[in-house]
Amino acid sequence: RVLPRLTRSCDLAIAMTSAESDGSKQRLEALMDRIGQEETQSVCDAIQRVTTCMVWASALIGQALFSKAVSDDHFPEPCAELASALRLRFDTSAPSNFICELMELCQNELERLLYELDVADMHVVQTMEVLQLVRLVTFMGHMYVHRAIRGNSIIQSLLNALLHWVKELSRWEQGPPKEHEVKVACALLRTVGFAYVGKTKGSSVYLSRLKMIKNTSWWLEETKLEIAALIQTWEQEWFHSRVFVLSRATLAESTWKVVFVTLGGDELCTLNLQSGKTLSVVLERIRKQIGMERDREVRISIVLPSNQVLSESDRHRSLDEVLQSVIRANSSGDRQAVTPSTQVLSQQDDKDIHKLPGEVLQGVTCATRTGDCQSVTPSTQVLS
């Protein structure tokens, strides 16, 4: 296996057979066609409504997202953005397992393509298989950047496999990897580099590897230039950027307690900040925490729970305004009840809160008696 194994929630073959028979697959595919044409949150809302009562929801969402992401060069990033939004939306409910299904599909496709290219022993790099590999790792890279997948292990495993790290011997394999593997590794690094390089322990070994193999004589000049450009970006830009995630924020007696973590999920620091300040205070405190108080070349970016990114240009924004939005994002989990007629009752709707138990349960009885519990359509009524 190239990637770490994740726990899957069901057998995909069974899920897809079931989905073909009841139309679930077609409904999700229709929603995926809206990616790139509508706002991510709008598509996320529609998917949540359609999958509320759907059996095998996690497997179907994973399959639909995967198919869309690798279908065209334009879709890896918007599909990763949607995966991140869905992960936040589902939280710990059953459909949140779609990430496991999605990564298993990525693993299988990765192994298939690498095997086919290895068996063919092709030295050409302009093939459909290489193009598919580039789309696949670009999608996985964007999932890391948008925090749909957490931790550094998946990116590290991909780079180790593509650049031929011999785990048992703790060293690089003698001689360069194949040219297509290097091109795919470069595509992955272009996607995650700004967020991964310089703040992930041991990431510099990949720079050393690229420098070691950049002048391989039989490679295309295009490949050599691609590696040289990546090395230059690495040394001139990525070493001077830091990306941190604002994980939690609480307010007590005019003092904010703010927890920051790395993109990999490791806790960075906890800051106590007075209300009424600007973001510049946060940036300066983080600089001090990471030992770069005087290094003004280092650019700091902060990722909010909503995946919005704040940079040095936002330093004059109100701290209270930003952190209140974080609290809203963390506490916006709307508990919902689903009736057999697929009507969704929400705790955030006054009309639903004041419904009488008899009124709701009578509707359940009627729906069960008339068979409505079998009719799940994209037009599921939502009270929210």
Q: pTM above the 0.85 mark?
A: no
Q: Is the pLDDT of residue 139 over 90?
A: yes
Q: For 28-48, what is the mean pLDDT?
A: 84
Q: Is 164 left (phi over 0), alpha (psi -120 to 50) or beta?
A: left
Sequence-separated (6 or more) residues with CB below 8 Å from residue 10: 56, 58, 59, 101
pLDDT digits (tens, 9 = 90+) for 11-27: 444 445 554 545 677 77
Q: Which of 128, 130, 126 is nearest to 181 (CA)?
A: 130
Instruction: Confirm if 139 and 83 have CB atoms less than 8 A apart.
Output: no
Q: Is the pLDDT of residue 369 over 50?
A: no
pLDDT digits (tens, 9 = 90+) for 111-124: 999 888 887 765 55
pLDDT of 77 reads 92
Cα–Cα dist 111/80, whole Å: 21
Q: For 2-12, what is the mean pLDDT?
A: 52
Provide the mean pLDDT of the chain. Answer: 75
The type of residue at 25 is: K
Look-up of token digits 């953005």: 81
Given pLDDT bands bounded at 50, 70 and 90, which one contains residue 225? very high
pLDDT digits (tens, 9 = 90+) for 148-167: 887 788 898 999 999 988 77
pLDDT of 322 reads 85
Per-residue DSSP letters for 245-266? EEEEEEEETTEEEEEEEETTS-
pLDDT digits (tens, 9 = 90+) for 296-353: 667 788 888 776 778 778 888 888 888 887 777 665 544 344 444 434 444 444 444 4
Kindly tell me the sign of the dihedral angle through the C-alpha atoms of 328, 331, 337, 338.
Answer: positive
Q: For 264-284, what is the mean pLDDT?
A: 82
Strand order in the sheet with 255-262: 267-274, 255-262, 241-252, 299-303, 309-310
